[in-house]
Chain A
Amino acid sequence: MADSGPEISKWQKLAEKELRGTSLESLTKSTPEGIDIKPLYTAEDLENLEFVNNLPGVDPFVRGVRASMYTNRPWTIRQYAGFSTAKESNLFYRKNLAAGQKGLSVAFDLPTHRGYDSDHPRVTGDVGKAGVPVDSVEDMKILFDGIPLDKMSVSMTMNGAVLPVLAGYIVAAEEQGVSQEKLMGTIQNDILKEYLTRNTYIYPPEPSMRIVSDIVGYCSKNMPKYNTVSISGYHMMEAGADSVLQTAFTIADGIEYVKAALNAGLDIDDFAPRLSFFFGIGMNFFMEIAMLRAARFLWADLMKQFNPRNSNSLMLRTHCQTSGWSLTQQDPYNNIIRTTLECLAAVLGGTQSLHTNSFDEAVSLPTDLSARVARNTQIIVQEESQVTRVVDPLGGSYYVESLTHSIIQEARKIINEIDELGGMAKAIVSGMPKMRIEESSARRQARIDQEKDVIVGVNKYQVEDEAPMEVREISSEVRDQQVARLKEIKENRDNVAVEKVLAAITKCAETGGNLLEVSIEAVRKRATVGEISDAMEKVFGRYVATTQCISGIYASEYQDNEILASLRKRTDEFAEKEGRRPRILVTKMGQDGHDRGSKVVATAFADFGFDVDISPMFQTPAEASRIAIDNDVHVVGVSSLAAGHKILVPELIASLKKQGGENVLIVVGGIIPPADYDFLYDVGVAKIFGPGSVITECANHVLNALENR
């Protein structure tokens, strides 16, 4: 394409004329991924690209894993949902299935994720809050009542308590009359990313990897239609990772699982085709599309080192979810538009199934209305927009192909770095991936706070006097119901048999054998999720994350030095007056492990000149209050994203008062429905910071409140 030269210069001249003196180079913008985006792409950009002009359904699958893609069968609309009880969730699934949804996806509550029964004292604020509580197979049976498990593909987001939950699903099917080989669906079973972002693990990485292998091994023999690991980048993106980080870490996680399964003696082609992926799709439209294409290329490329004979082993099949992080509490109906764009990006990127978020996701769990709109978003793209007519319609686009190439290049660099550290498990122990994600997240927050990244309704075009939105309220009776059912189960089962089978699990954990096999036996005997988890914890221990938090990142991205300087001046003045800097404890209570927000706040506040204490995760209110007392902090900042605030915050305040800490200021940040604001202010909260709050402003509010004490 050498003859394109003169034409390019002609375009340059025209563009420069339009720019009226500004240089053409100024139109080239660098993305957070470190990729330079030019104002124009041409055929020249596609020269020498290794993958352009391939076909869909063929290695390296850049253009899609199926030859006919959506022209034959569209992607599966798979909405993730779980409501406070198994019964309510069951009703919801049945309603959705009747309304055109093809697969179902279960969201469990946090105690279930972390292997606690609903009657455990650590989880009082969490039962039924972010999903459905499952304590035993009886809950599973209610959850799938009237849903034929031999015909319905079921996806379960479970990583911590994978064994008792998967066993519960298997036994529930068994008691429905469905045998194991007919079961189809996916269990997330992606424990590595839990250590990076969401923190819903139970055991340390090593035994956890064994559990993954045991599940892969068992299912490859007994459940051939079942996806045994869903390697997830979604949570990394939600935690602040850019597209390159999401791609690199997800692929590297996948390679680690492959190696673990191979080490456990499995044949690559027996399990690799059952590995699936899960990507998060954000608002950078073309970047998201290119990311999915790049990920498919990288997976096919890297899997070749294991010499599979079946080309399905090279295929990256993926589920996608639109970004919850991109949704705003402010002017929330805008979220429908955001989700639509993200939905379209996932589709043009070639996803196999998709969840679209509800517009009220930034505030609470979806209502019937918001859930319907979310589902219809996909149906409209699928059935009205005609985008499914052609396979990979963006194939050959100068920009998209070039961007795909750039992501491949950048992600490869990180994958090589991980290789040098000895693979992803070792890299995680080194802290590198978590640090990168947190760094990326702090930078993103600083860009938003400076309006470099625009979010309509948050940092631009804000609406005054917003009308409150109707949100779903979760009754506190859920826990009582669960506790009663647990009691009933424990009274009516053969407790001697349960003890025996639990001892067998402990032994299996210690000496070897397949943990899923013994877990299924235990579930048949009515052992609970908590009991099975405890039986393994005796051997494996419970994992305690080391929290690393680096200061200076937020400040380095934040270029408006005036605001930064004025905040630092305020904290300096505070120190001069009080004899020490303002000291804040940033804490997360309950089983909610989403710590992105609290980390960003901690690093930013330290950059503003606060002394910042970070509590361990999963605190009870009593524990958090004790840290506040011992460290003699001025302020406690509670981060809450999982609806536990109405129980946990009043308990924290009461516990502080009991220890003489009535003067400690309480601020709350995260996902708090506006309807709960008055409740929290009434119990003594000084200030609430919803999604989209600018951190510099939060810090000023905190300082104001301290001065007005």
Chain B
Amino acid sequence: METDPEYYVSGVCAGNRKILAKTITLVESSLPKHQELITGVLNRLLPFTGKAVRLGITGVPGVGKNTFVESLGMLLVERGQRVAILAVDPSSTHSGGSIMGDKTRMEKLSAQPNAFIRPSPSGGTLGGVSRKTRESLLVCEAAGFDVVMVETVGVGQSEVSVASIADFFLLLMLAGAGDGLQGIKRGILELADAVAVNKADGDNLAKTLQAKNIYADAMHLFSSDNTNWSPPILTCSALHMIGIAEVWETVLDHHEKMSATGALEQKRKKQAIQWMLTLLEEGLKDWFYQIPEVKKLLPQLTWEIERGESTPTAAVRKILTSLNN
């Protein structure tokens, strides 16, 4: 592993694929010496970041995320844009390993010289998905990509993380299988800058249009804190390349409006502050559990609670007071 920050900085800025890939590896590494190195690299890359459209995409498994990303990616590449895709694949909790098949589902795009697809395992998190993906996104921006898409498996916490790094957060949905919002939490719907109902083709078309109305009603219930933008509900068929251009127009429209009013800059600043706070919390946690006093007290108190000799509240108080002394 090359240890000179200049190697990474100049390589990324020159658009060298291999060095770009190695830099992302560094971002993802759990070794302290790599983290130190990448911090320096990122600091020097920072002036070259911020120029891409940052698009976050999520949706439940089976919604057609890969197909959508492939279709949108192809559309952009054909328009002469350079596209980077960061995909997060779940790691097994048993083995720690993972299978990353994103490229098999983006066969055309993965062969395009102007596309860069990097799947990453979610596992072995040190700082979590958000830190790694966010920094990888900055690296891609410095490498000159016009659009960076971040794609995650749509369950749980990861959507919130994606929303916190994207300019535009797109939620993909399907025509309802009866359960309306398909396990998508209300909180995630609130974060969406647009909802696209996918698979609007063939037998499914009528159902999709119906679903569009249901989602539109649901979205109206949320009061948006963004006065410039009310999230539209779109339909598309990623498989048949229908409605993809319209989705992209929406993203661009949003980008223009937000840029013009300065809201985009505000959003990114807010995200950066949020990011700092998240990192701080994670850092605090790591630091906290490494304190000798905590390491000593924690097992002891756990045992006391197990035996019913103490309550959780009392135990926490005991640890925190011990630190104050």
Closest to B16 in A: A660
**A-contact bits for B115-127, CB 8 A (1 contact / 0 none):** 0111101011000
**Which residues of chain A (579-616) have a CB below 8 Å from chain B?**
579-581, 602-603, 605-616
Which residues of chain B are near A551, meaning CB under 8 Å?
92, 95, 97-99
Q: Which of A544, A547, A571 contacts B101 (CB 8 A)?
A: A547
Q: Let me know if A630 and B21 touch, CB within 8 A.
A: yes
Asked if A222 is an interface residue, CB under 8 A from chain B, the answer is no
Q: Could you tell me the distance between the alpha carbons of A623 and B34 in the complex, rounded to whole angstroms?
A: 29
Closest to B23 in A: A632
Q: Could you tell me the distance between the alpha carbons of A607 and B110 in the complex, rounded to whole angstroms?
A: 26
Asked if B277 is an interface residue, CB under 8 A from chain A, the answer is no
Asked if A661 is an interface residue, CB under 8 A from chain B, the answer is yes
Which residues of chain B are near A555, meaning CB under 8 Å?
94-95
Known: A546-B105, A661-B18. A607 touches B95 (CB 8 A): yes
Which residues of chain B are near A660, meaning CB under 8 Å?
18
**Which residues of chain B (89-112) have a CB below 8 Å from chain A?**
91-92, 94-101, 103-108, 110-111
With both chains docked as a complex, state the minimum distance between the C-beta of A40 and any C-beta of chain B, in angstroms. 41
Which residues of chain B are near A547, meaning CB under 8 Å?
101, 104-105
Q: Could you tell me the distance between the alpha carbons of A632 and B121 in the complex, rounded to whole angstroms?
A: 13
With both chains docked as a complex, state the minimum distance between the C-beta of B243 and any C-beta of chain A, in angstroms. 18
Q: Let me know if B95 and A613 touch, CB within 8 A.
A: no
Which residues of chain B are near A549, meaning CB under 8 Å?
99, 101
The residue in B18, B94, B103, B110 that gathers the most chain A C-beta atoms within 10 A of its C-beta is B103
Asked if B81 is an interface residue, CB under 8 A from chain A, the answer is no
With both chains docked as a complex, state the minimum distance between the C-beta of B57 and any C-beta of chain A, in angstroms. 17
Q: Let me know if A616 and B103 touch, CB within 8 A.
A: yes
Q: Which of B30, B106, B117 contacts A580 (CB 8 A)?
A: B30
Q: Let me know if B97 and A605 touch, CB within 8 A.
A: yes
Which DSSP category, helix, strand, loop or mixed, fits chain B's interface?
Answer: mixed
Q: Let me know if B110 and A616 touch, CB within 8 A.
A: yes
Which residues of chain B are near A631, meaning CB under 8 Å?
21, 100, 118-119
Known: A581-B121, A630-B21. A614 touches B97 (CB 8 A): no
Closest to B90 in A: A551
Q: Let me know if A581 and B21 touch, CB within 8 A.
A: no
**Which residues of chain B (132-166) have a CB below 8 Å from chain A?**
none
Q: Let me know if B110 and A606 touch, CB within 8 A.
A: no
Asked if B28 is an interface residue, CB under 8 A from chain A, the answer is yes
Q: Let me know if A575 and B30 touch, CB within 8 A.
A: yes
Which residues of chain A are near B31, meaning CB under 8 Å?
578-579
Q: Could you tell me the distance between the alpha carbons of A521 and B293 in the complex, rounded to whole angstroms?
A: 87
Q: Which of B18, B96, B104 contacts A575 (CB 8 A)?
A: B96
Known: A581-B124, A623-B110, A623-B111. A548 touches B101 (CB 8 A): yes
**Which residues of chain B (45-91) have a CB below 8 Å from chain A?**
66, 91
Which residues of chain A are near B255, meaning CB under 8 Å?
none
Q: Let me know if B96 and A612 touch, CB within 8 A.
A: no
Asked if B17 is an interface residue, CB under 8 A from chain A, the answer is yes
Q: Could you tell me the distance between the alpha carbons of A660 and B101 in the complex, rounded to whole angstroms?
A: 24
Report how many residues on chain B are interfacial, defined by Cβ distance under 8 Å: 37
Asked if B41 is an interface residue, CB under 8 A from chain A, the answer is no
Asked if A33 is an interface residue, CB under 8 A from chain B, the answer is no
Which residues of chain B are near A224, meaning CB under 8 Å?
none
Q: Could you tell me the distance between the alpha carbons of A580 and B92 in the complex, rounded to whole angstroms?
A: 14
Q: Let me know if B96 and A617 touch, CB within 8 A.
A: no
Which residues of chain A are near B194, meaning CB under 8 Å?
none
Q: Let me know if B107 and A616 touch, CB within 8 A.
A: yes
Q: Let me know if A627 and B100 touch, CB within 8 A.
A: no
The residue in B97, B104, B108, B118 that gathers the most chain A C-beta atoms within 10 A of its C-beta is B97
Q: Let me know if A572 and B96 touch, CB within 8 A.
A: yes
The residue in B28, B108, B110, B116 that gathers the most chain A C-beta atoms within 10 A of its C-beta is B110
Asked if B25 is an interface residue, CB under 8 A from chain A, the answer is yes
Asked if B22 is an interface residue, CB under 8 A from chain A, the answer is yes
Known: A547-B105, A627-B110, A632-B25. A614 touches B18 (CB 8 A): no
With both chains docked as a complex, state the minimum distance between the C-beta of A325 and any C-beta of chain B, in angstroms. 23
Q: Could you tell me the distance between the alpha carbons of A555 and B95 in the complex, rounded to whole angstroms?
A: 9
Asked if B244 is an interface residue, CB under 8 A from chain A, the answer is no
Which residues of chain B are near A337, meaning CB under 8 Å?
none
With both chains docked as a complex, state the minimum distance between the C-beta of A268 and any C-beta of chain B, in angstroms. 26
Q: Let me know if B95 and A630 touch, CB within 8 A.
A: no
Which residues of chain A are near B30, meaning CB under 8 Å?
575, 579-580
Asked if B24 is an interface residue, CB under 8 A from chain A, the answer is yes
Which residues of chain A are near B123, meaning CB under 8 Å?
581
Asked if B29 is an interface residue, CB under 8 A from chain A, the answer is yes
Q: Which of B28, B95, B124 contacts A568 (CB 8 A)?
A: B95
Known: A580-B30, A623-B111. A612 touches B25 (CB 8 A): no
Which residues of chain A are near B92, meaning CB under 8 Å?
551-552, 606-607
Which residues of chain B are near A552, meaning CB under 8 Å?
92, 94
Asked if A659 is an interface residue, CB under 8 A from chain B, the answer is yes
Q: Let me know if B124 and A632 touch, CB within 8 A.
A: no
Q: Could you tell me the distance between the alpha carbons of A607 and B94 in the complex, rounded to whole angstroms?
A: 8
Which residues of chain A are near B101, meaning CB under 8 Å?
547-549, 613-614
With both chains docked as a complex, state the minimum distance between the C-beta of B23 and any C-beta of chain A, in angstroms. 9
Which residues of chain A are near B117, meaning CB under 8 Å?
630
Q: Which of A545, A572, A613, A623 contacts B119 (CB 8 A)?
A: A613
With both chains docked as a complex, state the minimum distance between the C-beta of B1 and any C-beta of chain A, in angstroms. 9
Asked if A497 is an interface residue, CB under 8 A from chain B, the answer is no
Q: Could you tell me the distance between the alpha carbons of A649 and B227 in the complex, rounded to whole angstroms?
A: 58
Q: Let me know if B95 and A615 touch, CB within 8 A.
A: no
Q: Could you tell me the distance between the alpha carbons of A266 and B104 in the complex, rounded to whole angstroms?
A: 38
Which residues of chain B are near A579, meaning CB under 8 Å?
28-31, 34
Closest to B30 in A: A579
Q: Could you tell me the distance between the alpha carbons of A326 and B96 in the complex, rounded to whole angstroms?
A: 33
Q: Let me know if B21 and A580 touch, CB within 8 A.
A: no
Q: Which of A571, A606, A626, A629 contacts B99 (CB 8 A)?
A: A606
Q: Could you tell me the distance between the alpha carbons of A572 and B96 in the complex, rounded to whole angstroms?
A: 8
Q: Which of B24, B96, B105 contacts A632 (CB 8 A)?
A: B24
Known: A546-B104, A630-B17, A661-B18. A580 touches B99 (CB 8 A): no
The residue in A549, A606, A615, A630 that gathers the most chain B C-beta atoms within 10 A of its C-beta is A630
Q: Let me know if B95 and A608 touch, CB within 8 A.
A: yes
Q: Let me know if B103 and A627 touch, CB within 8 A.
A: yes
Closest to B11 in A: A660
Closest to B28 in A: A580
Q: Let me know if A580 and B104 touch, CB within 8 A.
A: no
Which residues of chain A are near B106, meaning CB under 8 Å?
616
Known: A580-B29, A630-B17, A632-B25. A571 touches B104 (CB 8 A): no
Which residues of chain A are near B105, meaning CB under 8 Å?
546-547
The residue in A575, A579, A612 that gathers the most chain B C-beta atoms within 10 A of its C-beta is A579
Which residues of chain B are near A661, meaning CB under 8 Å?
18
Closest to A606 in B: B97
Q: Let me know if A544 and B108 touch, CB within 8 A.
A: yes
Q: Could you tell me the distance between the alpha carbons of A608 and B96 in the complex, rounded to whole angstroms?
A: 8
**B-contact bits for A535-563, CB 8 A (1 contact / 0 none):** 00000000011111111100100000000
Which residues of chain A are near B99, meaning CB under 8 Å?
549-551, 602-603, 606, 612, 614
Q: Let me know if B98 and A606 touch, CB within 8 A.
A: yes
Q: Could you tell me the distance between the alpha carbons of A581 and B96 in the complex, rounded to whole angstroms?
A: 8
Which residues of chain B are near A612, meaning CB under 8 Å?
97-100
Known: A551-B92, A606-B92. A630 touches B118 (CB 8 A): yes
Which residues of chain A are near B66, meaning CB under 8 Å?
546
Which residues of chain B are near A572, meaning CB under 8 Å?
96
Q: Could you tell me the distance between the alpha carbons of A215 and B116 in the complex, rounded to whole angstroms?
A: 42
- List 10 additional A-B contacts (Cβ < 8 Å) besides A547-B101, A549-B101: A547-B105, A548-B101, A550-B99, A551-B95, A571-B95, A571-B97, A579-B28, A581-B97, A581-B121, A612-B99
- Give chain A's interface residues, CB within 8 Å of chain B: 544-552, 555, 568, 571-572, 575, 578-581, 602-603, 605-617, 623, 626-627, 629-632, 659-661
Q: List 9 A-B contacts (CB under 8 A).
A: A547-B104, A571-B96, A578-B29, A606-B92, A610-B97, A611-B121, A612-B98, A616-B110, A630-B116
The 10 closest A-B pairs by CB, nearest first: A579-B29, A579-B31, A547-B104, A606-B97, A616-B107, A632-B21, A660-B18, A609-B97, A609-B95, A632-B25
